[in-house]
Amino acid sequence: MMRAARSLLFVALLPLFAGCQLLDAPRQSASHAGQTRMQGELTAADGKLVFQPCQEQRRYIVNDSGGTSVLQQAASLANDQGKLFADVRGRIVSSAAAGADSQLDLEQLYRLERSGNACDDVNFRPLVLRASGHGPDWSLNASGKGMVLEREGQPTLAVPYLEEQLGDGRFNLSTEANGQKVELWVAPQRCVDSVTGSVQHMSAEIRVNGQIQRGCAYFGGARND
């Protein structure tokens, strides 16, 4: 009980000390130096993928230097218009290709989905993590201010949380508040949403008072791991 109280107190104080830092600058490791995270529209042109960032006119020929299989993923997910929303990280290099300003050496694919309004998501930038699943539907948003859990047929739960790193890119978020024990276990494993078909870069498992559901997850704009 004392350990849980310390954990909750730590995260309850987190926004006072780290909230502004999370909002102002995404966390980025040294190994990502020279790389940029961007969101935008992904289309096919002349057998190649072209990426256009949100609210920009620049266009980049995509070179899958990180082996993300983005071409295959996009081909299976594209709608009749052939347009997808993509959340990626990579390095911009000069390119002489006609019809494109530069080339994007893509290193990380965070998310790929059919969406016409994802560029307008005002909640993305302060978000640390978003996870969701089905059967029944559930979603969890975590930020520097706490986590918000929504479940089909259940009231919304907004609580502080503790993050624990487990190694190999795995971690978990947990809380014991408002009479609920919630644990979210996340692993760096490609995950496909069973309903929407969207591709996300992490798998997730949520446990609420011992009940387990599975789903997918991705980092929000406040975290670039």
Residues 188 and 178: their CA atoms lie apart, in Å, by: 30
Which pLDDT score is estimated for 80? 58
Classified as helix, coil or strand, 120 is helix
pLDDT tens, position by position, 149-208: 999 999 999 999 999 999 999 999 999 988 889 999 999 999 999 999 999 999 999 999
Position 73 pLDDT exceeds 50: yes
Q: Are 143 and 158 in contact (CB under 8 A)?
A: no
Give residue 47's pLDDT: 80
Over residues 1-13, the mean pLDDT reads 37
Domain map of the chain by residue range? 2-25+122-219, 34-120
**Amino acid residing at 128:** V
Higher pLDDT, 19 or 70: 70
Cis peptide upstream of residue 136 (ω within 30 degrees of 0): yes
Rounded-to-integer distance, Cα 36 and Cα 93, Å: 11
Mean pLDDT, rounded, for 50-77: 91
Q: How big is the chain by its Cα radius of gyration, in Å?
A: 19
- By mean pLDDT, which of 10-14, 181-185, 213-217 is the weakest? 10-14
How far apart CA 224 and CA 124 sit, in angstroms, is 12
Q: Which long-range contacts (CB under 8 A, 24 or more apart) does 196-201 make?
A: 196/113, 196/114, 197/76, 197/77, 197/113, 197/114, 198/77, 198/111, 198/112, 198/113, 198/114, 199/73, 199/77, 199/109, 199/111, 199/112, 199/113, 200/110, 200/111, 201/108, 201/109, 201/110, 201/111
pLDDT at residue 188 in the model: 96
Q: The domain at 34-120 falls in which architecture?
A: Beta Barrel (2.40)
Mean pLDDT for all residues in the chain: 83
More confident of the two residues 149 and 115: 149
Query: What percentage of the chain reaches a pLDDT higher than 70?
Result: 81
